[in-house]
Amino acid sequence: MWSVYGGLVPAVSLVLVPPVVSGSPGALFPGVDFQYFPLQNPGVVSIPLGFLAGWLGTVTSPEPPDPARHAETEVRALTGAGAV
């Protein structure tokens, strides 16, 4: 969950302030310049932030590792069992 929200929040925030939205001739609002993020693709920043948040959530989790749950998840991921 940390990865999902750690990547989603920056992605949505950065989508609103790149040059694609304002400031450039081909922008959605070409007459207004409120671009604070210089890159056109927010994924360059939000994807690494999502991975960092996932790692941080894993490291700081108080839940102890459960080998049985890991084995079950691995079987489900490899075989697709329970996907229906």
Domain range for 72 is 2-79
Tell whether 84 is covered by a domain.
Answer: no
Tell whether 12 is covered by a domain.
Answer: yes
User: Who wins on pLDDT, 36 or 12?
Assistant: 12
Q: Collect all residues with Cβ–Cβ distance below 8 Å to 53 and sequence separation of at least 6.
A: 2, 3, 5, 6, 7
Q: How many domains are contained in the chain?
A: 1
Tell whether 42 is covered by a domain.
Answer: yes
Question: In this predicted structure, what is the pLDDT of residue 71?
Answer: 92
Does the pLDDT at position 25 exceed 90?
Answer: no
Tell whether 26 is covered by a domain.
Answer: yes
